Structure 1
């Protein structure tokens, strides 16, 4: 049986992990590429998960041969995001876990591949929820994050911004995407993965634990306070 190492700090990805935004991203992307007769495949979506916005645009444009510049693509998709992202809902188990850790004074933070303006849109109806996090690091607009996931930068910067600057091995990462898992592992952290059910099992390798939902997480396995109920 696999044994997990105790941790003291927890870092969460956001898209597809805390907030159910992936379906919204898919809808926006399809809206932009549909006029060109292109299809947004699952393989392309997986390739861009967790990456910086500009890299996501490049992957879509280059892989699907969309006749748009990166700037034009981002401009069009951003307009759609502004309309639909405020409708994003919390993923199952997210609020329970975050409130539990916050209640027990476990330092928690968010490390996302997104940008500040996008983050504000997605959390429009979740402002109180976001206040429970010590800090938020957004790879697309944070000057300290040189490289997006799967590079470890966003998680290392995030860990360094906790007031007591824990070592990487003291941090537990929650992720839904292969790029994010690779980034967490590269940072020297344990990673709990909650993948999309469509994801091939082979792409979950590297994660310390793979769950179907955040509702299935047992904090005590990582030395964190057990749920009260």
Structure 2
């Protein structure tokens, strides 16, 4: 994207961007594969096809990829129960609170746009009210206005709309997943990739406006923002 950014809105993914959840998803998925696919290894090539998708879609891809003889309903139930036991251990990623404080300090409206459904979101965010308080808007994966999942940009476009953004070139999107970065770029927003630490060299991330190792590397100057991060 060319031109000089004039950012007025910020939109964040949740899993792997603000919360260190991707390792949890890997653990839960590997447990399932250990139990139902003879312990085949859950590789990043498969994981990147799942990241950012609705759990129904991602689980079906998992079943198809590994040729697992199980029902979608049972596989989802197994994953959800395993994940629910692990959510209390999830912590914010490095720089997460810092960057939210930065945007709040500069009165830039902040949205959360996550593929997580409300029932899972409520469990995941228990005890994390200090993060939720930063957001002016929260859009979840089962929002009736979001009919298409990432890489479709619909969730980011709806979040921008709720923030009052009429031109997505005034928005910045933060994402860790390939599908999320695709969605951010397709929305027209300046998209920042913070790649999943398991496979940061995925070549697609170079399509983002900038690539960071962590949110602590954020450089507000390149987005026309105050340089006091």
Band of TM-score, shorter chain? over 0.9
Provide the C-alpha distance between the structure 2 equivalents of 1:226 and 1:171, rounded to a whole number of angstroms: 18
In structure 2, the CA distance between the partners of 1:201 and 1:34, relative to structure 1 (3 Å rule), is closer
Deviations 1:154-194 (A, max 9, x none): 101111111x3331111100011110010011111110101
Residue 125 of structure 1 and its aligned partner are, at CA, apart by: 2.3
Distance 1:220 1:8 in 2: 14
Q: Does 2:63 correspond to 1:61? A: yes
| Distance 1:48-1:70 versus aligned 2 partners, 3 A rule | same
8 Å CA contact 2:9–2:165 kept in 1: the answer is no
The Cα offsets for residues 72-128 of structure 1, whole Å up to 9 and x where unpaired, read as: 111111111111112210000010010111122110011111111221222222112
**1:101 and 2:111 aligned:** no
Q: C-alpha displacement at 1:220, in angstroms?
A: 2.6
What's the TM-score once normalised by structure 2's chain length?
0.93
Q: Deviations over 1:13-66 (max 9, x none)?
A: 110010000011111111112122132111111111111111111111111112
Distance in 1 separating the partners of 2:89 and 2:118 = 17
Q: Residue 4 of structure 1: CA displacement?
A: 4.7
Q: What is the aligned partner in structure 1 of residue 130 from structure 2?
A: 128
CA gap 1:161/1:44 in 2 versus in 1, 3 angstroms = same
Q: Any unmatched runs of 5+ in structure 2?
A: none
- For residues 216 and 152 of structure 2, the distance between their equivalents in structure 1, rounded to whole angstroms, comes to 28
Matched, 1:202 2:168: no
- Which residue is equivalent to 1:148? 149
- The 4+ residue runs of structure 1 with deviation greater than 6 A are none
RMSD (CA atoms): 1.5
Answer whether contact 2:9 2:171 (CA < 8 A) is retained: yes
Q: 1:54 to 1:4 in 2, by over 3 A?
A: farther
Partners of 2:130 and 2:91 lie apart in 1 by 14
Corresponding residue for residue 186 of structure 1: 186
